[in-house]
Amino acid sequence: MTIDVFKWKTMGNPKHTDSSNINEAGFGDGYSQIWVSGINNVSESWDLTYTGCINEIKEVRDFLNSHIIKSFKWKNPYGEEKLYRVVNKSIESEFVGGRVVSLSFKFIQAYSP
């Protein structure tokens, strides 16, 4: 099975967030135990923007909508190619003027078995 690639160059200032999947159990004396859950316990997300003419934006938007549950490859600004998927309800369009549209969306890191 081939994995799709997000081929468009994002614009603006991408915002990156790392999230750790940890658990904590606190005790009455102030002591707490902290541990990680699973082998992929740190995941990243990216808030991104793409601006272009309406026909190009339609192509990007179609790709994004088809990859909410299906992962794809993308090379992040750190130069790392990883698997991601689009966060549900994160795709927003802003019509800047004429036929120019600014599309904002969010990627979250995905993992494969």
pLDDT at position 58, please? Answer: 97
Query: How far from 70 is each of 15, 37, 63, 108, CA to CA, in Å?
Result: 22, 23, 10, 12
- Residue 27 domain flag: no
Give the residue numbers spanning the domain of 66.
Answer: 11-20+36-109
pLDDT at position 37, please? Answer: 86
- Residue 25 domain flag: no
Contacts 24+ apart (CB under 8 A), 19-26: 19/43, 19/44, 19/45
- Residue 31 domain flag: no
- CA–CA dist 54, 57 (Å, integer): 5
Domains in the chain, number: 1
pLDDT at position 29, please? Answer: 92
pTM of the model: 0.87
- Residue 42 domain flag: yes
| Segment 30-60, tens digit of pLDDT | 999 999 888 888 899 999 999 999 999 999 9
- Residue 70 domain flag: yes
